[in-house]
Amino acid sequence: MKDGIKIVTIGGGSSYTPELMDGFIKRYHELPVREIWLVDVENGKDKVEIDAAMARRMWEKAGYDVKIYTTLNRREALTNADFVTTQFRVGFLEARIKDERIPSYYGMLGQETNGAGGIFKAFRTIPVILDIVEDMKELCPNAWLINFTNPSGMITEAVVKYGKWDKVVGLCNVPVIAMMKEPIAIGYDAKELVYQFVGINHFHWHKVYDKQGKNITQKVIDAMFEGKDIGLPANIANVPFFKEQVEQMQMIPCGYHRYYYRSQEMLEHSLEEYKTIGTRGQQVKETEERLFKLYEDPDLDTKPEELSLRGGAYYSDAACECINSIYNDKKTHMVVSTKNRGTVPELPEDCVVEISSVITAKGPMPIAWGKLPSAQRGWLQCMKAMEECTIEAAITGNYGLALEAFILNPLIPSGKNAKEVLDELLIAHEKYLPQFKDKIEKLKMNGVTIRDKVVFDLVKEGK
Amino acid sequence: MKDGIKIVTIGGGSSYTPELMDGFIKRYHELPVREIWLVDVENGKDKVEIDAAMARRMWEKAGYDVKIYTTLNRREALTNADFVTTQFRVGFLEARIKDERIPSYYGMLGQETNGAGGIFKAFRTIPVILDIVEDMKELCPNAWLINFTNPSGMITEAVVKYGKWDKVVGLCNVPVIAMMKEPIAIGYDAKELVYQFVGINHFHWHKVYDKQGKNITQKVIDAMFEGKDIGLPANIANVPFFKEQVEQMQMIPCGYHRYYYRSQEMLEHSLEEYKTIGTRGQQVKETEERLFKLYEDPDLDTKPEELSLRGGAYYSDAACECINSIYNDKKTHMVVSTKNRGTVPELPEDCVVEISSVITAKGPMPIAWGKLPSAQRGWLQCMKAMEECTIEAAITGNYGLALEAFILNPLIPSGKNAKEVLDELLIAHEKYLPQFKDKIEKLKMNGVTIRDKVVFDLVKEGK
Amino acid sequence: MKDGIKIVTIGGGSSYTPELMDGFIKRYHELPVREIWLVDVENGKDKVEIDAAMARRMWEKAGYDVKIYTTLNRREALTNADFVTTQFRVGFLEARIKDERIPSYYGMLGQETNGAGGIFKAFRTIPVILDIVEDMKELCPNAWLINFTNPSGMITEAVVKYGKWDKVVGLCNVPVIAMMKEPIAIGYDAKELVYQFVGINHFHWHKVYDKQGKNITQKVIDAMFEGKDIGLPANIANVPFFKEQVEQMQMIPCGYHRYYYRSQEMLEHSLEEYKTIGTRGQQVKETEERLFKLYEDPDLDTKPEELSLRGGAYYSDAACECINSIYNDKKTHMVVSTKNRGTVPELPEDCVVEISSVITAKGPMPIAWGKLPSAQRGWLQCMKAMEECTIEAAITGNYGLALEAFILNPLIPSGKNAKEVLDELLIAHEKYLPQFKDKIEKLKMNGVTIRDKVVFDLVKEGK
Amino acid sequence: MKDGIKIVTIGGGSSYTPELMDGFIKRYHELPVREIWLVDVENGKDKVEIDAAMARRMWEKAGYDVKIYTTLNRREALTNADFVTTQFRVGFLEARIKDERIPSYYGMLGQETNGAGGIFKAFRTIPVILDIVEDMKELCPNAWLINFTNPSGMITEAVVKYGKWDKVVGLCNVPVIAMMKEPIAIGYDAKELVYQFVGINHFHWHKVYDKQGKNITQKVIDAMFEGKDIGLPANIANVPFFKEQVEQMQMIPCGYHRYYYRSQEMLEHSLEEYKTIGTRGQQVKETEERLFKLYEDPDLDTKPEELSLRGGAYYSDAACECINSIYNDKKTHMVVSTKNRGTVPELPEDCVVEISSVITAKGPMPIAWGKLPSAQRGWLQCMKAMEECTIEAAITGNYGLALEAFILNPLIPSGKNAKEVLDELLIAHEKYLPQFKDKIEKLKMNGVTIRDKVVFDLVKEGK
């Protein structure tokens, strides 16, 4: 890093790239970036070029001399990288749409990172991230991997446990947004509050304390039930929690807990969208197309407002802040996916949790939470076991384990339909699941077919 | 115990009592019972007298001088007891029918020990068992409590953790039946096999080894999928497991695992019965009436064949064998609910598990299983946490915790309906839930009403 | 705390008081102290008055309006306190001298916080701190207890586990000094380094990282073996560690580890002092007398240089920094004794560890270390078990447990002499050990006598 | 095992061999042994032939047709073995004498399995046992390894953790003798008692219950302090425990606990022998010579009485009983070294403990003990960590780890002398420590020499 930092962004053709640029530009005075490599695959070539052109305009306007490169050759980019950020999406939005629609066809939740969809996103992504890690070991062994590809927790755990790579941080925007919105909702300055988060990605709780160290979590609970905005991500339907439950636990659940605490309503909402306006992935696809239209405008040289509607707002900003905190040993409090190390003593010591951490020059130093109440403990243990089955199945291609993950997943009612969803998803994603090749062959010979019309067409078109 | 053993049976008016007598008669040569006290409540008076008369005929026929007493005064019976067996049912079969029908009305599983029904059976029973333990501390401090009132595992955990009473064994007939039927199904003599069970009540798995110590679990799996009888309890619908799952885990799930591994089909079957022939409790009620008709016959002096259709077959026999093994330090292998002590290291050390144990003069010595694979670990941890919430709510009457138990329970889809089931069950069982008195008052004031016609009538009739 | 902070210092007549004043004066711009109460007992009356007069001169010189009160009535002082610091010494230096000399007479290590001496210091102090906590519950329930009375870790654990008081921080100057001296020894600016400590009080290790996150612990190891000053406390003989051992563990042991890693030499050194210039306590007594002579000088209005020779340098400064960080939510990195919460997963979750923490408005948030290598894990587990026996014996007066603590303590060779040391110490400290009253009576009746001449005289004089 | 069992005994030339034969002869009616292979090394050739001749006479007298083979070719013997017993001693008694005398020279305990001696016995033996396991994987993959080579616990742990071989049982005669002698001492029939043991090899405790399940451990404590014989191994000096300690723990320590609970006296006794009659190894050497004289007598065809004085009495008998119990699935209660699996939840799940187990066709099923009191927990954790360092050093030849094991060992006072003992022992055992080759070279170059005259001579003679 002698003469400035080299950043490599895998999935550089993402619609988030301008936010990432914006984040680096804002921090340039303390984070001297020298060059940024946007890496993508053949199918993402057009978008990565649009992003790169947009990025160059943004940097130029900011008045800093930072080089933007694009490449389809990941290894070329990784050589001597200082930080590698990952925001790629194996199979593009078409894959997400399959993840959402196939379960929906069977009356189950179709969601990007939860239920069957989340498991399959892990199946497609884990082999790729492990390849990236192998390249990093060879080409940039001192670099940090800053992952914000979802499901961020499982990806990070795969990197740590199977990739044997410790210099990784998993990021999520959900805690970021909570810590932005909640203070406003309860009339405090964010700087006056002490936050402590515990859990796993998309499945965490937190408590809030004021300047005198007083637990004021109840104030946030009150605000939540008064309908104030406490930071629900744009992609999650606003079904209220049960007040008696939240007051009993005295912790603030994250937005995604709705899927588990109000399954009935969340399912109804999801199926309604499936049957009418299309799943979230289909909606996002349109948003993305609009965004890239904007990015193509040669006069646009700042991050457009529309980007914040995209769902993943602040994700890229969190990545920049994390890099900044590592580079400058800022000891910022961030909530990241990192190795447990005992912070949640009832989970395996070497699994990955999403936890309040101090981000230092040596990476995240996680703050121990200690024992959890029975309910939260049980939920976390169940979800972590489901994640472990998923990760192991993603690596081995073991169908029995994939089935175990499905059956253990609280959002997939077990039984005949669950198995059909599993089988259809395997076939639908065949191109990205080489580890399950043999099983997929057999399923096809046994005549498993895709019943959802939209997905059927996507597969037929080879998407 | 100088001049013979004093047995006290709480819930003496149960239809199982003749089996219990049969068990003691068969073992009299080594287990010198002197007197048996059948205790029941006012509403069970007629049945306990029928049982007592039947018991006297059985003992007379056997030619042993054993006194049978009946009483509605539990404390009178407990004085100087050596073994106390509990087979009572708070609220009789009417309560079970409510537990089954109210969830069914909302399209959920209605089952005696699983889902909402199991939670409410615990809510009604735990305060009573803790009262019994208090009496025992005073009146028979050296006695053993042999519990086979369901949910047996949670009852036992309440006794150990909240009653602070260690001399307790929780029993279940499910492992007994498995170890009787499986050897036949695979063509072995039961004595040639080594069994090891692990889990919690109605949620355990096991492995089987032959005389050479070879793991032959796969043989049982094969027999299971060839449709052979491996001991499915009479009350559980015979939906096959997924072969890929069972072969992956290389353990035999218990019959009740169907509710979790094939939720869809088990739910369909349960709702079908609800809508047609009535729930299991309603069916059992008829069986029971037939049984007591038989017991009234002054010529009947042996356990009738029909009893084995009742569902709980071998339960009472297991109780006798357990008592025998303690009394004679027989070191029999039995699968019982007892304190974990590390046998399942990923569960709390002081919780209750159902585990292969050696039954000695000092009670069960549980055999350590060690680490479990991810899926089984996650399932157990989730279920145990749900049990902990249930037990604590049963003791404190905390509604928030009851809600947590419901939401965490894998057989109750969370959301609006779940809360309505919870509220209706509270009202339906009001008589037996003094700990929830305040909440029930509020619910009634808020106009919560019971929608299932059968239950509505039962409540109106004050049953 | 509306109109300024009220500080109460138990053991206000300590020679450290001027350092404490100095710490508050330096931080007055952000830590608005209003009044400081110096509490002591009858025997400490003269010293506390000297300290108070000195303190008033110091504050006056600083130009701040802070009131200094003295009292022998602890409850008067505690009323509405904001922070309570404890630096008292039950039995004064005479008690320490007994702790050191009696073991020395039998050829064992005589040390203030290690071996037999440390156990007896806990025996005397724990009942007193628990009394203080009871007063705090009543008189200042929102106050923080900042303890720097030794043995700081055991005192803190007693407060948390038996006093059920969570708002406590245990402090020690050893990590403070290490983090001051090591950077100088290896040629770095302290601000460039990231430190992580793990262990228990007077028994911890740490690692050091540079601004790039690189582990540079080996540099400190090299400096240590080149003889550079890396912060050995003044009271510990400078026996070098074994280089092969330290390089194997790749962690920096604390100064006190010498007693365990080089027992032979440390014992020889201690016995040599015992036989010649007197034990450390005797030396400190002279230093203290000199210090109080200085404090009496009405012209002295700044902390004198000589104080830093006293051994406990920076202790009081650490207390001020901790209070400052809580009051202002500074999120400073400090190494404190606090509840484990999983930071060291192989120790009980609810024990007290000394660990790198972030000091916030809600107190210390400890940073999880994760699994330790076998040797360090075994050492910590052994020492923690010894501490648990000690604390329980201190509370119950159970002689068997006291004996268990002695036998388990690695610095007390078990056997006849160990028991004699235990018995003599009980008699020597009779006045401060009401919990052991019965046992002491019996020992005296059995003719146990104190063999060390100096201690014999102290006891005879009633000191 | 179709036509009878093939036993292979590594270290067949041991003086225990006749006891082993006796054990098999006594059990022949249920344990149909077909052939026994006595394996030894070149230097043990004479003894193994004497043993074989004696064995043949014993079997002939018993009237059974069992073939006895001798060989120096281990692989020849292992082919198709059913049970492999290990009773070899790397370096013969000369090595033990070195283990005892070198520490004694420096005033430390010199003992076969404790302190420095035990660590070096592990260093010499572990590489050999791992070689044997590799051979077994190839030549007799279904065989059981029954180890009674000391230090039996560490050897078993090395086999399980590093050899990845689960079919192993570690045996010790200490629990056997306790369960034989204690009932006599307290006037009970052994069959009336229930025993439960917990701990690690040569470091375990137990409790005793009567037929009514009553804890009668205090009766054994009383008998112990009345001086009755409760089974102290012949090789341990009879120093009494502290009564207050044993009554506090309410567990019976094993004989070897004397070294830890009464270090002072045990050390004095050991040094006295060293200076006068020679160490235990030297004494045993004479006993062994006498024994082999007896074995040479062509008229001797039964196990001679003198053998029971040898120290290891009942060791071989325990091996036969263990084999018998596995072969016949007898479900005998035995105390064996086996994988922890949670029986002692505060030790690593995959370490080896010595624990009450049921010996079945599938091997030992260990009985869970649960949480231990602080002192016993701390002792075990410390000793286990010391064992882990020892085993890892034995495999890697890491000198730093060897030093860690020495320093952590409670019977080796750390410091200069400890390091000299370590260095001298490395040199003394050079022939058997190829893993430490480089370090030994350096030590020799640095002029480390052996100071004890006897050991010096042994080394000079190449023994």
pLDDT digits (tens, 9 = 90+) for B121-133: 999 999 999 999 9
Burial D240-261 (b: 16+ CB within 10 A, else e): ebbebbbebbebbbbbbbbbbb
Is residue B157 in some structural domain?
Answer: yes
State whether A324 and A441 are in the same domain. no
pTM: 0.97
- B258 to chain A, minimum CA–CA distance in Å? 9
Distances in Å between the Cα of B351 and the Cα atoms of A9, B151, B256, B434, C152 are 48, 15, 21, 26, 34
CB pair distance less than 8 Å for B264 and A382: no
- D193 to chain C, minimum CA–CA distance in Å? 27
* Tokens linked to B371: 């680490």
Q: Which long-range contacts does B58-64 make (Cβ < 8 Å, 24+ apart)? A: B58/B18, B58/B21, B58/B22, B58/B25, B58/B301, B58/B302, B58/B303, B59/B21, B59/B25, B60/B301, B61/B301, B61/B302, B62/B25, B62/B28, B64/B25, B64/B28, B64/B33
Determine which of A280-289, C98-107, D397-406 has the lowest per-residue pLDDT on average: A280-289
- Going by the DSSP 8-state scheme, the letter that residue D242 receives in this structure is P
Q: With a cut of 80, say whether residue A310 has pLDDT above it.
A: no
> Which helix (H) or strand (E) segment is C218 a member of?
helix C217-225
CB D37 within 8 A of CB D333: no
pLDDT band at D1, cuts 50/70/90?
low
User: What does the pLDDT read at residue D232?
Assistant: 87
Integer Cα distance of D349 and D372 in angstroms: 15
Q: For D376, name the nearest residue in chain C, comparing CA atoms only.
A: C385
pLDDT band at B321, cuts 50/70/90?
very high
Integer Cα distance of B161 and B146 in angstroms: 16
- D108 to chain C, minimum CA–CA distance in Å? 12
CB pair distance less than 8 Å for B417 and A260: no
Pick from B242, B378, B414: which is nearest to A261 by CB? B414
Q: With a cut of 90, say whether residue B386 has pLDDT above it.
A: yes
User: What does the pLDDT read at residue C20?
Assistant: 95
Q: Average pLDDT, stretch D200-229?
A: 97
Is residue D107 in some structural domain?
Answer: no
pLDDT band at D2, cuts 50/70/90?
low
Neighboring chains of A (3 or more beta-carbon pairs < 8 A): B, C
* Tokens linked to D317: 């008998």
Structural domain including C397 reads 391-460
Q: What is the mean pLDDT of chain A?
A: 96
- Going by the DSSP 8-state scheme, the letter that residue A113 receives in this structure is S
User: What does the pLDDT read at residue B314?
Assistant: 82
User: What does the pLDDT read at residue B305?
Assistant: 83
Query: Complex ipTM, two decimals?
Result: 0.97
State whether A149 and A191 are in the same domain. yes
- Name the domain count of chain C: 1
DSSP string, D67-93: EEEEES-HHHHHTT-SEEEE---TTHH
CB pair distance less than 8 Å for A360 and C194: yes
Share of chain D above pLDDT 90, in %: 93
Q: Which residues of C touch D419 (CB under 8 A)?
A: 242
> Which helix (H) or strand (E) segment is C166 a member of?
none
State whether A383 and A409 are in the same domain. no
Q: With a cut of 90, say whether residue A422 has pLDDT above it.
A: yes
CB pair distance less than 8 Å for A363 and C213: yes
User: What does the pLDDT read at residue D308?
Assistant: 73
Residue finishing a domain among B151, B172, B193: B172
- CB neighbours of A197 closer than 8 A, spacing ≥ 6? A175, A204, A205, A206, A335, A354, A355, A356
Burial C277-299 (b: 16+ CB within 10 A, else e): ebbbbbebbebbeebbebbeeee
- Residue B235 has phi, psi (to 5 degrees) of -90, 5
Is residue B438 in some structural domain?
Answer: yes
Using DSSP's 3-state secondary structure scheme, residue A338 falls into strand
CB C81 within 8 A of CB C8: yes
Distances in Å between the Cα of A71 and the Cα atoms of A44, A49, A51, A338, D32 are 11, 9, 12, 30, 74
Q: For D263, name the nearest residue in chain C, comparing CA atoms only.
A: C414
Q: Which residues of C touch D401 (CB under 8 A)?
A: 248, 375
Q: In CATH, what number is assigned to the domain containing residue B150?
A: 3.40.50.720
In this predicted model, what pLDDT tens digit does every residue of A163-172 receive, in sequence order?
999 999 999 9
Pick from B333, B362, B368: which is nearest to D341 by CB? B368
- Residue length, chain D? 463
Task: For tokens 């005259």, name the residue.
Answer: D453
Integer Cα distance of B108 and D169 in angstroms: 50
* Tokens linked to A157: 């755990």
Q: Average pLDDT, stretch A15-32?
A: 95
Q: With a cut of 90, say whether residue A313 has pLDDT above it.
A: no
User: What does the pLDDT read at residue B375?
Assistant: 98
Counting CB pairs under 8 A, whether chains D and C reach 3 or more, is: yes
Q: With a cut of 80, say whether residue D125 has pLDDT above it.
A: yes
Is residue C375 in some structural domain?
Answer: no
pLDDT band at B235, cuts 50/70/90?
confident
State whether A385 and A424 are in the same domain. no
Catalytic residue among A106, A195, A256, A399: A256
In this predicted model, what pLDDT tens digit does every residue of D88-107 receive, in sequence order?
999 999 999 999 999 999 99
Distances in Å between the Cα of B80 and the Cα atoms of A114, B138, D260 are 57, 10, 45
D150 is in an annotated binding site: yes
Q: Average pLDDT, stretch B106-116?
A: 97
User: What does the pLDDT read at residue C308?
Assistant: 73
Residue A193: Cβ within 10 Å count: 19
* Tokens linked to B14: 């149960």
For an interface test with D, which of C382, C387, C420 has the most D Cβ atoms less than 10 Å from its Cβ?
Answer: C382
B382 is in an annotated binding site: no
β-strands C168-170, C144-147 pairing: parallel
Is residue D424 in some structural domain?
Answer: yes
pLDDT band at B234, cuts 50/70/90?
confident
CB pair distance less than 8 Å for D196 and B341: no
**How many residue contacts between A and C have a Cβ separation below 8 Å?**
110
Is residue D412 in some structural domain?
Answer: yes
Is residue B444 in some structural domain?
Answer: yes
CB pair distance less than 8 Å for C369 and A329: no
CB pair distance less than 8 Å for C400 and D244: yes
User: What does the pLDDT read at residue C311?
Assistant: 63
Q: With a cut of 90, say whether residue D311 has pLDDT above it.
A: no
For an interface test with B, which of A392, A404, A443 has the most B Cβ atoms less than 10 Å from its Cβ?
Answer: A404
Q: Which residues of A touch B418 (CB under 8 A)?
A: 264
In this predicted model, what pLDDT tens digit does every residue of A378-410 receive, in sequence order?
999 999 999 999 999 999 999 999 999 999 999
Q: Average pLDDT, stretch D423-441?
A: 98
Integer Cα distance of B189 and B211 in angstroms: 10
Q: Average pLDDT, stretch A107-127?
A: 98
Taking alpha carbons only, the member of D207, D258, D264, D194 closest to residue D232 is D258
Counting CB pairs under 8 A, whether chains D and A reach 3 or more, is: no
User: What does the pLDDT read at residue A293?
Assistant: 95
Neighboring chains of D (3 or more beta-carbon pairs < 8 A): B, C
- Residue length, chain B? 463
Q: Average pLDDT, stretch D343-357?
A: 98
Q: With a cut of 90, say whether residue A305 has pLDDT above it.
A: no
Q: With a cut of 70, say whether residue A11 has pLDDT above it.
A: yes
C202 is in an annotated binding site: yes
A96 is in an annotated binding site: yes
CB pair distance less than 8 Å for D362 and B213: yes
CB pair distance less than 8 Å for B369 and D341: yes
Residue A413: cis peptide before it, omega within 30 degrees of 0? no
In this predicted model, what pLDDT tens digit does every residue of B10-46 receive, in sequence order?
999 999 999 999 999 999 999 999 999 999 999 999 9
Q: Average pLDDT, stretch D11-35?
A: 95
Is residue B153 in some structural domain?
Answer: yes
* Tokens linked to C108: 């064992």
User: What does the pLDDT read at residue A2?
Assistant: 60
Q: Any idea which residues of D carry the catalytic annotation?
A: 256
pLDDT band at B307, cuts 50/70/90?
confident
Residue finishing a domain among A378, A395, A412: A395
Q: Which residues of C touch D245 (CB under 8 A)?
A: 400, 403-404, 407
Q: For D364, name the nearest residue in chain B, comparing CA atoms only.
A: B367
- B328 to chain A, minimum CA–CA distance in Å? 39
Q: Which residues of A touch C353 (CB under 8 A)?
A: none
User: What does the pLDDT read at residue B312?
Assistant: 65
User: What does the pLDDT read at residue A311?
Assistant: 63
- pLDDT-flagged residues of chain C (< 50): none
Share of chain A above pLDDT 70, in %: 98
State whether A446 and A363 are in the same domain. no
In this predicted model, what pLDDT tens digit does every residue of D145-175 receive, in sequence order?
999 999 999 999 999 999 999 999 999 999 9
